[in-house]
Structures are given as C-alpha cells and as structure tokens.
Amino acid sequence: MKKYLVAGLLVWLPLAITVWVLSWVLGGIDTLFAALLSVAQAMLPQSAYDFLETARHVPGLSVIVLAVLLLASGVFAANFVGQWWLALWDRLIGKIPIVKSIYNSVKQVSDTLFSSSGQAFREAVLVQYPREGAWTIAFVTGRPAGEVAALLGASPTTVMGMDPRRDWVSVYVPTTPNPTSGFFLMMPRADVVPLAMSVDEALKYVISMGVVGPPAKVPNGAAPAAAPRAPAAAATADPHRN
C-alpha cells in the first residue's frame, strides 16, 4: 500500500506544484490588472465604466494585456525615439531621493543579467566551499572591478606568461532548495573548475539537492574525467605540516 501511495504521489506532485505556481503568478497579475482597472474607472468618464467592468471579468485578459504591453515596450525601447525617452525618464528618476537608489540598483542588476551581450549566469562551475575539499556548484557572474580588482591584483584579461591566479572571477553560490539566496564570492580562475552542463541543468541539480543529476557529458566516448583537483596552493602545501 505504501509503495502504491508513493507512486501515485510522484505522478501527481509535479503537476500539482506546476498548477500552484502558475495560479500564484496569474493571481498576482490579475490583482494588479484589477487595481489598474479600478484606477481607470475612477479617472475616465462614466461611459467607459461599463466597458472596464466587463473587461474585469474576462478570463486571461490580464495575461494578454501584459504580453502586449511588454511587446510594445520592447519595440518602443529598441528605436532611437524610445531610447531618448528612456534616457529622459532615467534622468528624472535619478533626481528623486531614495527612489533613485532603489531604481538605479535594480536597473543595473537587470541590465547585467538579461543583456544578450552580458556574461552573467552563462557558465556553471565547481568551487570549493565552504571549506577546502567540499565542492559545490556556482555560477560565474563576471569579474571583480574597480577598487576591489585593484586590491586583489586582478587582471581584466589573462596574458601569456602572467600568473594565472591574477585572473579572478566573481561567482554566485546558490543555496538549496531555494537558489534565489546564496553567497557572492571572488576567487582566482585557477580555483574554479568549468562544467560541461548547462546553467539550467545546474539549477535543477541544485534545486533538487542533488537528486536530479545532469547527464554525463563525455566528449567522443572518452572515459569520464577525473575528480577535480584541489587548487595549486593546497597541492603545494608543506608536507611536514601536522
């Protein structure tokens, strides 16, 4: 009986969680859409009230409106006039105390994460964390910059003959099963082991706490690679040390 109950749970649990997540997202969109309709009803003449009230009860209309709005915004922002207006909007927001700090921070992060030319979250790697000998999956988010890069002695590029430990990377180590929280680390590229798995596969591996492992990717039928070695600093430690 227990075996059959568990088997039935495994059949329905993924579908139930998927429906719950979609319901939560759609519920949030519907709530925002209803609030916007209420504001419109208060501002527009009485002749538009009945039309907006009917639109409030059309199922799925909020999702369609959101998709059209995002598409129109993207088309507007992609041309010269739209970029000029967006620059003007950014300057206006930049003059509002408190708001400018939140807006500029979110804008910088979103531009970095979602830019097609950016390198954030494009590579999954293995790092030793929280101690030497314990390995975890991390995601490369960029390179140290500014004052931090100068203090670390980091180089923006690796030059032939240069100490490879001067090539530093910034990585994000997610927690499990919630990858939206984690730790930001800066470490030499020599201490980072690149992975062949995609970012999506690595995220599934983290969220499932290692239960859903990615498929082994062995090039040209070769034997699997050996386990990652410890960084050079640990490998050359004093052998006489207790």
pLDDT digits (tens, 9 = 90+) for 25-81: 888 888 888 888 888 877 877 777 777 777 777 888 888 888 898 898 888 888 888
**Rounded Cα–Cα distance for residues 165 and 199 (Å):** 25
Q: Which residues neighbour 229 within 8 Å (Cβ) at sequence distance 6 or greater? A: 235
The per-residue pLDDT for range 119-146, each reduced to its tens digit, is: 567 789 999 998 888 999 999 988 888 8
Average pLDDT over all residues of the chain: 78
Q: Which residues neighbour 6 within 8 Å (Cβ) at sequence distance 6 or greater? A: none
**Domain limits of the chain?**
2-102, 124-216
The per-residue pLDDT for range 188-213, each reduced to its tens digit, is: 988 999 998 888 888 888 888 888 87
Choose from 153-162, 176-185, 223-232 the range with maximum mean pLDDT: 176-185
**Rounded Cα–Cα distance for residues 227 and 219 (Å):** 16
- Please give the span between the terminal C-alpha atoms of the chain, in angstroms, as a whole number: 55
**226's tokens:** 């050996």
